Amino acid sequence: MTTSTVEGYLVDILGHQNIPARVHIQGNKISKIERLQQPSDSFYILPGLVDSHVHIESSMLSPEQFARLAVIHGTVGTVSDPHEIANVLGRKGIEFMVESGNRVPMKFNFGVPSCVPSTPFETSGAVLDSGVVEEMLQDSRFKYLSEMMNFPGVLQEDEEVMLKIGAAQQNHKPIDGHAPGLRGNDLKKYVGAGISTEHECSTYEEALEKIRAGMTIQIREGSAARNFDALYPLIDQYPNQVMLCSDDRHPDDLMAGHINALLKKGLKYGLNFYHLLKAATINPVRHYGLDIGLLQEGDPADFILIDHPDTFNLESVFINGDLVFDGRDVLFEPESGEAPNVMNARKTTAADFKVPAQSSKVRVIHAQDHELYTTSSVESLPEKEGYLTGDPGRDILKVAVINRYHRQSPAVGFIKNFGFKHGALGTSIAHDSHNLMVVGTDDETISQLINQLIDQNGGLVATDGNTWQRLPLEIAGLMTHQTGQQVIDRYKKLSDLTRKMGCSLASPFMTLSFMALPVIPEMKITDKGLFDVGRFKPISLYA
C-alpha cells in the first residue's frame, strides 16, 4: 500500500480557519492530519469541488472526455442526471454512462431519471416506468431520484409519479426537484411530497421562498441559463441550504471554467470564502451521501491544492490519493468504447415544412438569451401560394421538430430572436426527448439541413446557404468520443458561422435545444406541436 504526504494550509471549512498541516495518505484514504507550526509548502489544501447537478450529455462529451476537462478546474465529482441519454436509449443509455464514468478516476454519481419522457406531449425513445425506477433505485450505484419535472403530476398525485417518489423514500435516496416558478401552496405540496432541491430558480424571491419551504437551492451557471448573479446573496444568508451546479455546459465553456469559476466570481462579489466552499463541497457530499472525501481522517483522499484563496489558481488535483492533474497535464487517458445510437427519422422535402394559411395570425415563440424561459406573441405573417412564410425582416423564422424514433411528419412553428436572414441551424440535442430540431429562413434549406442530420446520425449542423459546418455526435446523437479540444474546434466553427449569419444569441444551439422542453414556461414546440407550459396542454399554432 503506497503512502505519501502533502503539506500546506488545510482549509477547515466548518471552522472558518486555515490550519498549517501535513496530510498523510495511505492507499486511497487520508490516514492522518498532522498540525504543524509552519508547513514546507504554502499551498492551500481544499476538498475537491463537486458539481451538484449536471447533465454530462450537454457537454457533448463522453463521461471520460468530460472528466479530462472538468478535472483541470478542481472538480473531483459530479451529481449527474443521465436523463438526456435515457430519453433516447433507456436503461441501455444509462448503463453506458455508468460504465464510461467508471473508466476514469473522476467520481460520477448518477441518479435514476424520474421523467422519461418528461411529459406525454412529446415522443421519446424510451419509457422508464415506476417499476423500472424502483428496481434501479435499489441499485447502490444510483444515488438519488433525478429531477421531478412533472410537478403537475406531483400536485395532482398522479399514481406513477407518486410510486417513483415512494420508491426513492423507501430506499432512503434524496429526490431532486424541477419546478420553475412554483410558489405558494403548490410549492408547499411539492416540497411536502419529499422533494428536496431546486436548480431552476431565476429570481432571488423565488429561491428565498423555496429555501424557507425547506428546499436546498442549486445555484446554476450553465451555458444557456445563468442564475448566479441573481441568487448569490443566498450563499452567505443560507450557507447550509445552497449548492453550486452547472446543469448544462458546452465544452468551450467547460474548458474555460467549471465550479471553480463560480468560486472566483463569488469571491469578487465579496462572499465568504468558507460559505462558497461549503456550497461546492460539503453540502452536495452530505446531501447525496457521496463517497467523496472532505479532508477528514479516514476519508477518501480527494482534494485540490491552490496557490491562495484570493486568486484560486489550481496547482494540483488528487482523487483517491492519486495525482490526476499536476497543474499542467491531466494524468489519465480515456478509452473509446461503444457508441449506442438510434435514428429512425425519414428524409424530408421542402413540402414537409409548409404551413397552410388557415389564418394569417399565428403564435410565435420568443427565445431569450441566457434563459430557458420563453415568451410569446401573436403575429400576422406573409402568405405565398396558400402557405404562411417566415418573415426574416422582422426576425420571425420557422422552427420545426422532427420525430427521430418514428417516421412522422414534422411539427412546424415560428420563432423570434435568432436573428439571421439566410440559412438554418439544427441539432439532435432537443431537450428532453432529443428529436431533431431546426430553425431556418426557408423550407428548402431547412429540409437539406435535417437530411444532413439524419445522414450523420445526429449532432449539430449550420449553413448560411453556401457554407456548411458540422459536428457529428455518434453517441445517441448527444455526445462523442472526440477530445474536448476537437469538439471545441468544430463547435467554434459552427458558432462563428451562426454569428456571420447574424445570430446574436450567446449559445444558439443550446438555446434552440431548450425550445422543445415542455416543462419550462412559457411556450415550446415538441414533435406533436405547440405546447402551452402554463396551462400544460397542446395549443394550436393559429391564434
Whole-number Å distance between alpha carbons of 31 and 98 = 29
β partners of residue 58:
none
My answer on whether 412 and 360 are in the same domain is yes
Is residue 338, in this structure, part of any structural domain at all? no
What average pLDDT is seen over the chain? 96
Q: Is residue 340 part of a domain?
A: no
pLDDT at 47 exceeding the cut of 90: yes
41 has pLDDT over 90: no
pLDDT, one tens digit per residue, over 287-345 is 999 999 999 999 999 999 999 999 999 999 999 999 999 999 999 998 877 899 999 99
Mean pLDDT of the region 27-40:
95
Q: pLDDT (tens digit, 9 = 90+) per residue, 489-522?
A: 999 999 999 999 999 898 899 899 999 998 888 9
* Residue span of the structural domain in which 374 resides: 350-538
Same domain for 105 and 14, yes or no, is yes
Q: What sign for the dihedral angle of Cα 209, 212, 213, 215?
A: positive
Q: Which three cell numbers stand for residue 260?
A: 471553480
- Banded pLDDT at 486 (limits 50, 70, 90): very high
pLDDT at 396: 97
* Total count of domains within the chain: 2
Q: Are residues 91 and 219 in the same domain?
A: yes
Cell triple for residue 102? Answer: 467508471
Crossing angle for the helix pair 273-280 and 259-268, to the nearest 10 degrees: 160
C-alpha cell at 439: 430553425
Q: Is residue 333 part of a domain?
A: no
Boundary of a domain, candidates 267, 291, 325: 325
Do the domain assignments include residue 531? yes
Say whether 373 sits in a helix, a strand or coil: coil
User: Residue 225 pLDDT > 90, yes or no?
Assistant: no
Question: By percentage, how much of the chain surpasses pLDDT 70?
Answer: 100
Does the pLDDT at position 40 exceed 90?
no
What CA–CA distance (Å, rounded) separates 109 from 102?
A: 10
Contact (CB, 8 A) for 468 and 475: no
φ, ψ at 512 (rounded to 5°): -60, -40
User: Does residue 213 sit in the same domain as residue 114?
Assistant: yes
DSSP secondary structure string, 127-188? Answer: ---HHHHHHHHTSTTEEEEEEE--HHHHHTT-HHHHHHHHHHHHTT--EEE--TT--HHHHH
The reply to whether 279 and 403 lie within a common domain is: no
Within-domain flag for 344: no
Residues 468 and 509 in one domain: yes
Let me know: does 453 contact 436? Beta carbons within 8 Å: yes
Of the residues 264, 290, 325, the one at which a domain ends: 325
* Confidence (pLDDT) at 508: 93
Segment 405-418 mean pLDDT: 97
- Do residue 302 and residue 214 come from a single domain? yes
Name the domain boundary from 308, 325, 342: 325
Q: Is 430 helix (H, G, I), strand (E, B) or coil?
A: coil
Q: Three cell numbers at 96? A: 453506458
Residues 6+ apart with CB under 8 A from 243: 52, 53, 197, 216, 217, 218, 219, 279, 280, 283, 284, 287
Q: Which of 438, 424, 446, 397 is nearest to 527 (CA)?
A: 438
Average pLDDT over residues 269-293: 98
Mean pLDDT of 427-448: 96
342-368 burial, b at 16+ Cβ within 10 Å, e below that, comes to: bbebbebeeebbbbebeeeebbbbbbb
Domain contains 510: yes
Same domain, 284 and 375: no
Q: Kindly report, residue by residue over 344-371, the tens digit of the pLDDT.
A: 999 999 999 999 999 989 999 999 987 8
Axis crossing angle, helix 91-101 with helix 63-70, rounded to the nearest 10: 40
Same domain, yes or no: 425 and 294: no
- Set of cell numbers at residue 69: 476537462
Q: Is residue 274 part of a domain?
A: yes
Maximum Cα interatomic distance, the chain, rounded to a whole number of Å:
85
Instruction: Encode pLDDT of 130-177 as tens digits.
Output: 999 999 999 999 999 999 988 989 999 999 999 999 999 999 999 999
pLDDT beyond 80 at 120 = yes
Do 14 and 153 lie in one domain? The reply is yes
Query: Is 205 part of a structural domain of the chain?
Result: yes
- Residues 489 and 429 both lie in one domain: yes
How far is residue 325's CA from residue 17's CA, in Å, rounded to a whole number?
A: 26
Task: Answer whether residue 250 shows pLDDT above 90.
Answer: no
Residues 361 and 266 in one domain: no
CATH of the domain at 115: 3.20.20.140
Give start and end residues of each alpha helix (H) in 238-388.
251-256, 259-268, 273-280, 282-288
Q: What span, in angstroms and rounded, lies between the C-alpha atoms of 435 and 409?
A: 12
CA dihedral 103, 108, 112, 116 (to 10 degrees): -80
Q: What are phi and psi of 317, to 5 degrees?
A: -135, 135
pLDDT tens digit sequence for 440-483: 999 999 999 999 999 999 999 999 999 999 999 999 999 999 99
Residue showing cell 480557519: 17
